[in-house]
């Protein structure tokens, strides 16, 4: 066990690394962040910020030397960086899990090989693959780049073959998946943690709504049957076990109109839809990440209150600094900001966790509060 007082390392300095670092500090650990960005949200709160590219040999050596264990806060770390670190240090999650989850083709192929249902898809490496795939995947379909997509980026809904060709060319003919667009009843996610000893714990199932491909709200408890919630948690346990995963894994699920669960994608790290745990659970997803990383017993988290998480995107800044007093004066609302200075449309700047007696009220409070934050031009 790596105990409090030790230093832990994080690859990546975004908001997930920041929330991890803050939680690690709460529990008496020191934190070293590697991120090239001088204004990195995690770097700003860490004990040390190694400001260098992810494949910088001397920075990786320093991270290894100064930390008892190292984790990542994003899936697009270069494989070479993880390999370099794994030679000398404990690195969790394992490289194979990061490699699988950073590539949609590898991920979906793996899921199907292990018997987990996904949407129907075809791997697209060339125009020829695409020509074959469009006769097998019904329209409307979605073309997604296999790598580096997030928040709906690197995706196009296509309704005929020429649409698909145009999108493939616009993506630079990089490897893609052509995926069936499913009629969804709703979207869920489960955050699961697995320790090196094989112990597994899940967080309560979250019900997620997206807007323009970006997560907008997460609601817990999800408005689904106890049976479906149980099924989702069992799926997460089975998947974490099958992958011999170590760390925190975010699993996005589709619920079809026929109540079938499909695995959409996985993230080898805490997940935006798990931010609700910070204020509504007996232990949060960042504590769980630290526990799995350090070989501590996993927390057995339970829900303390119904909750809705709502993301605060850069769009809220369009009329100037948001009216924070609107969040601060409402009972049950907790404000989380990531310390990003530049507010661009669609950029995740922070979130609100809104607690209420039931999920519907929590959701109404979240939407009302978010909307009240926007500073509008007042006509004299
Ligand atoms: N095959 C699909 N059918 C229906 N909706 C989809 C499909 N794929 C993606 N979406 C919608 O787009 C969102 C983002 O897609 P996702 O594959 O999760 O990419 P990202 O990496 O950007 O999160 C999903 O949460 C869902 O709302
Ligand atoms: Mg997603």
The pLDDT > 70 percentage for the chain reads 99
Per-residue model confidence as pLDDT tens digits over 21-74: 999 999 999 999 999 999 999 999 999 999 999 999 999 999 999 999 999 999
Q: Which residues line ligand 1 (CB under 6 A)?
A: 119, 142, 149-152, 179-182, 184, 187, 210, 213, 252, 264-265
Distance between Cα 213 and ligand 1 center (Å): 6
The CA-CA-CA angle for residues 238, 244, 246, to 5°, reads 105
The C-alpha atoms of residue 92 and residue 12 are separated, in whole angstroms, by 14
CATH architecture of residue range(s) 120-180 = 2-Layer Sandwich (3.30)
Distance between Cα 177 and ligand 1 center (Å): 12
Q: Which atom of ligand 1 is nearest to the CA of 151?
A: 22
HEC readout, the chain = CCCECEEEEEECCCHHHHHHHHHHHHCCCEEEEECCCCCCCCCCCCCEEECCCCCCHHHHHHHHHHCCEEEECCCCCCHHHHHHHHHHCEECCCHHHHHHHCEHHHHHHHHHHCCCCCCCEEEECCHHHHHHHCCCCCCCEEEEECECCCCCCCEEEECCHHHHHHHHHHCCCCCEEEEECCCEEEEEEEEEEECCCCCEEECCCEEEEEECCEEEEEEECCCCCHHHHHHHHHHHHHHHHHCCCCEEEEEEEEEECCCCEEEEEEECCCCHHHCCHHHHECCCHHHHHHHHHHCCCCCCCCECCCEEEEEEEHHHHCCCCCCCHHHHCCCCEEEEECCCCCCCCCCEEEEEEEECCCHHHHHHHHHHHHHHHCCCCCCC
pTM of the model: 0.96
For the CA of 147, the nearest ligand: 1
Distance between Cα 266 and ligand 2 center (Å): 8
Ligand 1 site-directed mutation target among 213, 250, 267, most atoms within 8 Å of CB: 213
Q: Which atom of ligand 1 is nearest to the CA of 181?
A: 3
Please state the φ and ψ torsions of residue 24, each to the nearest 5 degrees. -60, -40
Are the C-beta atoms of residues 213 and 151 closer than 8 Å to each other?
A: yes
Domain 184-373: which CATH number of 3.40.50.720, 3.90.1580.10, 3.30.70.1140, 3.30.470.20: 3.30.470.20
Q: Which atom of ligand 1 is nearest to the CA of 154?
A: 22
Q: Which atom of ligand 1 is nearest to the CA of 144?
A: 17
Per-residue model confidence as pLDDT tens digits over 68-95: 999 999 988 888 899 999 998 999 999 9
Distance between Cα 214 and ligand 2 center (Å): 8
Q: What's the confidence (pLDDT) of residue 380?
A: 55
Per-residue pLDDT tens digits of the chain, which is 380 residues long: 999 999 999 999 999 999 999 999 999 999 999 999 999 999 999 999 999 999 999 999 999 999 999 999 998 888 889 999 999 899 999 999 999 999 999 999 999 999 999 999 999 999 999 999 999 999 999 999 999 988 889 999 999 999 999 999 999 999 999 999 999 999 999 999 999 999 999 999 999 999 999 999 999 999 999 999 999 999 999 999 999 999 999 999 999 999 999 999 999 999 999 999 999 999 999 999 999 999 999 999 999 999 999 999 999 999 999 999 999 999 999 999 999 999 999 999 999 999 999 999 999 999 999 999 999 866 55
For the CA of 155, the nearest ligand: 1
Q: What's the confidence (pLDDT) of residue 112?
A: 98
Q: What's the confidence (pLDDT) of residue 379?
A: 56
Query: Looking at domain 7-91, does it have CATH number 3.40.50.20?
Result: yes
Distance between Cα 67 and ligand 2 center (Å): 31
Distance between Cα 193 and ligand 2 center (Å): 19
Provide the residue ranges of all domains of the chain, joining segments of one domain with +: 7-91, 120-180, 184-373
Q: Which atom of ligand 1 is nearest to the CA of 153?
A: 22
Chain centre distance of CA 330? 28
Distance between Cα 280 and ligand 2 center (Å): 23
């Amino acid at each position: 066990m790596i105990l409090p007082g030790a230093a832990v390392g994080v690859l990546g300095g975004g908001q997930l690394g920041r929330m991890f670092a803050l939680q690690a500090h709460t529990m008496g650990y020191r934190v070293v962040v590697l991120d090239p960005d001088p204004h990195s949200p995690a770097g700003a709160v860490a004990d040390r910020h190694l400001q260098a590219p992810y494949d910088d040999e001397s920075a990786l050596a320093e991270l290894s030397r100064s930390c008892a264990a190292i984790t990542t806060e994003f899936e697009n770390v270069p494989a070479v960086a993880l390999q370099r670190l794994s030679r000398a240090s404990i690195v969790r999650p394992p490289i194979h899990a990061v490699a699988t989850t950073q590539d949609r083709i590898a991920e979906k192929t793996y899921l199907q090989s292990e018997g987990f249902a996904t949407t129907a898809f075809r791997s697209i490496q060339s125009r020829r693959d695409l020509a074959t795939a469009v006769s097998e995947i019904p329209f409307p379909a979605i073309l997604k780049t296999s790598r580096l997509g997030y928040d709906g980026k690197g995706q196009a809904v296509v309704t005929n073959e020429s649409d698909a060709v145009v999108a493939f060319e616009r993506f630079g003919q990089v490897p893609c998946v052509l995926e069936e667009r499913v009629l969804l009843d709703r979207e869920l996610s489960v955050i699961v943690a697995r320790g090196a000893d094989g112990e597994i714990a899940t967080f309560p199932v979250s019900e997620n709504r997206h807007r323009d491909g970006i997560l907008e709200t997460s609601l817990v408890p999800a408005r689904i049957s106890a049976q479906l919630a149980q099924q989702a948690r069992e799926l997460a346990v089975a998947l974490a076990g099958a992958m011999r995963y170590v760390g925190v894994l975010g699993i996005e699920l589709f619920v079809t109109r026929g109540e079938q669960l499909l695995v959409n994608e996985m993230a080898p790290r805490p997940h935006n839809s798990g931010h609700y745990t910070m204020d509504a659970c007996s232990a949060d997803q960042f504590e769980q990440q630290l526990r799995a990383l350090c070989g501590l017993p996993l927390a057995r988290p339970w829900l303390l209150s119904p909750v809705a998480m709502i993301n605060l995107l850069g769009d809220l800044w369009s009329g100037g600094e948001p009216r924070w007093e609107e969040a601060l004066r409402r009972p049950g609302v907790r404000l989380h900001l990531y310390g990003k200075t530049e507010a661009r449309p669609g950029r995740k700047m922070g979130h609100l966790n809104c607690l209420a007696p039931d999920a519907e009220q929590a959701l109404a409070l979240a939407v009302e509060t978010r909307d009240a934050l926007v500073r509008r031009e007042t006509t004299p």
